[in-house]
Amino acid sequence: MPGTARHDREMAIQAKRNLSKTTDPVERLRLQCLARGSAGIKGLGRVFRIMDDDNSRTLDFKEFVKGLNDYAMMIDKEEAQEIFRIFDKDGNGTIDFDEFLVTLRPPMSNARKEIIMQAFRKLDKTGDGVITIEDLQGVYNAKHHPKYQNGDWTEDQVFRAFLDNFDSPYDKDGKVTMEEFMNYYAGVSASIDTDVYFIIMMKNAWKL
């Protein structure tokens, strides 16, 4: 997608710079994720989902710390405890990881969320809430891709690479959910100051 790689780089540099200035533990975790680019927060979500063996969509402290370690987050035990306490609102020793990820996402205005939803709905041709290669065939023209033009990739490979942009760094399954799409763009959004510019970028990118 045009412009995204540059925004990604800018955002990662900005996140690393801010990391040295902030002491808020949640903000530090957010910045560490963003320092990996737009897919950073989504990647952490995938790690937690893999650890949630019983599909309870909750994590206890041990699972939480293991998830952070598996994702190579630089957070000591005290800081992890502090973050866990913030999210364990009812004090029952577990946190809801959907709520955790939503809080970790950089805040976005409703105008930004709405345009992201529009783009998702346009791409989700079958309307089942997941974007797949099948959805992309009618919406995204693979034939303009340089690797398709020089014969390196088939059309399906171009689509797969495109989906991998939005998919989680460590668990690419060729499907992109609304949550993953939103998490990805929350990352992009963090590097763009004004709503107007963000909306123009989205409209141009997705011909909305």
Q: Is the pTM higher than 0.75?
A: no
Instruction: Provide, rounded to the nearest whole percent, the portion of the chain with pLDDT above 70.
Output: 94
Supply φ then ψ for residue 140, to 5 degrees: -120, 125
Please list, in sequence order, all residues whose beta carbon lies within 8 angstroms of the beta carbon of residue 58, skipping any fewer than 6 positions away. Answer: 52, 94, 95, 96, 97
Q: Tell me the C-alpha to C-alpha distance, in Å, between residue 28 and each of 34, 81, 82, 99, 177.
A: 10, 14, 12, 17, 26
Q: Average of pLDDT values for 84-96? A: 87
For residues 131 and 6, the model is more confident at 131
Question: Is pLDDT at 2 greater than 50 in this prediction?
Answer: no
pLDDT exceeds cutoff 70 at 99: yes
Tokens (6 digits) for 2: 């045009």
Q: What is the mean pLDDT of residues 43-63?
A: 83
CB 106 within 8 A of CB 193: no
pLDDT of residue 117: 95
Ranges 18-22, 54-58, 121-125, most confident: 121-125
Q: What is the pLDDT of residues 154-173, one digit of tens each?
A: 888 888 888 887 776 556 78
pLDDT digits (tens, 9 = 90+) for 171-181: 678 888 888 88
Structure tokens at 103: 């809080």
* Residues β-bridged to residue 58: 96
> Rounded to an integer, what distance in angstroms lies between the CA atom of residue 31 and that of residue 17?
9
**CA distance linking residue 98 with residue 117, whole number of Å:** 18
Q: The tokens 């089942």 sit on which residue?
A: 128
Q: How many CB atoms lie within 10 A of CB 135?
A: 21
Spell out the SS3 assignment of 57-122. CEEEHHHHHHHHHHCCCCCCHHHHHHHHHHHCCCCCCEEEHHHHHHHHCCCCCHHHHHHHHHHHHH
Q: Are the C-beta atoms of 60 and 80 separated by less than 8 Å? A: no
